[in-house]
């Protein structure tokens, strides 16, 4: 259903509020760069600190601005199943094409609990849904057998896998037997992920380098390994510095340095400063993909 480069969008803020003008401009920038889908209100969009009304506002703006030009996959995950159902219902009502749901965090559910969580949301809301496995944030791993069970649920159509574990990916693909699509959640390993059967990436780095990531995913879909390798290597340093601190701290700093939005986050996240920020900006200046024109740094 979905493929290629899908950007996990940052949420611009201004004086504590959602900066709608900057967000709409960022969406246009992404579409002009040729991305295949956008993902508002996810981890990169600071969903954990959005109120329910703000969460819906971000999704609404994205759906309105995109106007059907690319799919909108709305982040609707939570560690509370009832809340995930409410958010996913809201996303459907607002016109999102699909929902991305992070595996329940903090609670540390069993594999059966994870299965029942996702099935409950899928049963409650008839909307294509993508499950999201990111053990580094949730402190739990969706095992291949559990993903295989979930692949039998009709409207669970894919998984964003941010484990960077190629062995687990192989076992998960085998367990799903063609019933589910696979999207990388790790920018540094998109090429090997797609070589094993992945359909694309839900990317942080494509907020600032969408054209280069698009070259990579398109090349992999066309079997052009040389072009894909060149793009993956070109992004190597950028991928590294974008995760020197917790996402979305670096990518928000990068977007601000490009003059696109304020470098404003919500507590407990703080803006990137000092030596790490200088290193990020140096890498951006020397980036071998598309030109990144820093505003004031």
> 209 — phi, psi (to 5°)?
-130, 55
Q: Are strands 181-184 and 156-161 parallel, antiparallel or unpaired?
A: parallel
**Cα–Cα distance, 185 to 203 (Å, whole number):** 6
Mapped onto helix, strand or coil, the DSSP state of residue 256 is helix
**Which sequence positions are flagged as catalytic?**
132, 160
Paired tokens of 34: 């040729």
**Cα–Cα distance, 109 to 114 (Å, whole number):** 6
**Cα–Cα distance, 157 to 257 (Å, whole number):** 36
Paired tokens of 271: 């803006």
Contact (CB, 8 A) for 104 and 138: yes
């Amino acid at each position: 259903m979905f493929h290629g480069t899908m950007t996990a969008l940052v949420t611009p803020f201004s004086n504590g509020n959602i900066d709608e003008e900057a967000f709409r401009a960022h969406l246009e920038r992404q579409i002009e760069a040729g991305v295949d889908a956008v993902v508002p209100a996810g981890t990169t969009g600071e969903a954990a600190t959005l109120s329910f009304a703000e969460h819906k506002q971000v999704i609404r703006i994205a759906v309105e601005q995109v106007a059907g030009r690319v799919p909108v996959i709305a982040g609707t995950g939570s560690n509370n199943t009832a809340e995930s159902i409410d958010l996913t219902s809201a996303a459907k009502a607002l016109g999102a094409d699909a929902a991305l749901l992070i595996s329940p965090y903090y609670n540390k559910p069993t594999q059966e609990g994870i299965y029942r969580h996702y099935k409950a949301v899928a049963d409650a809301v008839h909307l294509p849904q993508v499950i999201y496995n990111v053990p580094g944030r949730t402190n739990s791993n969706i095992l291949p057998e559990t993903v295989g069970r979930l692949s039998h649920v009709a409207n669970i159509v894919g998984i964003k896998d941010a484990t960077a574990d190629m062995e687990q990916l192989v076992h998960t693909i085998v367990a799903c037997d063609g019933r589910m699509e696979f999207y990388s959640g790790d920018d540094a390993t998109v090429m090997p992920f797609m070589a094993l059967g992945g359909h694309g990436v839900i990317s942080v780095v494509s907020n600032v380098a969408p054209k280069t990531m698009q070259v990579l995913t398109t090349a992999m879909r066309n079997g052009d390994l040389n072009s894909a390798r060149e793009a993956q290597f070109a992004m190597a340093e950028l991928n590294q510095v974008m995760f020197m601190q917790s996402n979305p701290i670096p990518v928000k700093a990068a977007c601000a340095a490009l003059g696109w939005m304020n470098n404003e986050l919500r507590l407990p996240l703080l803006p990137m400063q000092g030596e790490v920020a200088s290193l990020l900006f140096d890498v951006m200046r020397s980036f071998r993909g598309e030109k990144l024109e820093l505003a004031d740094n």
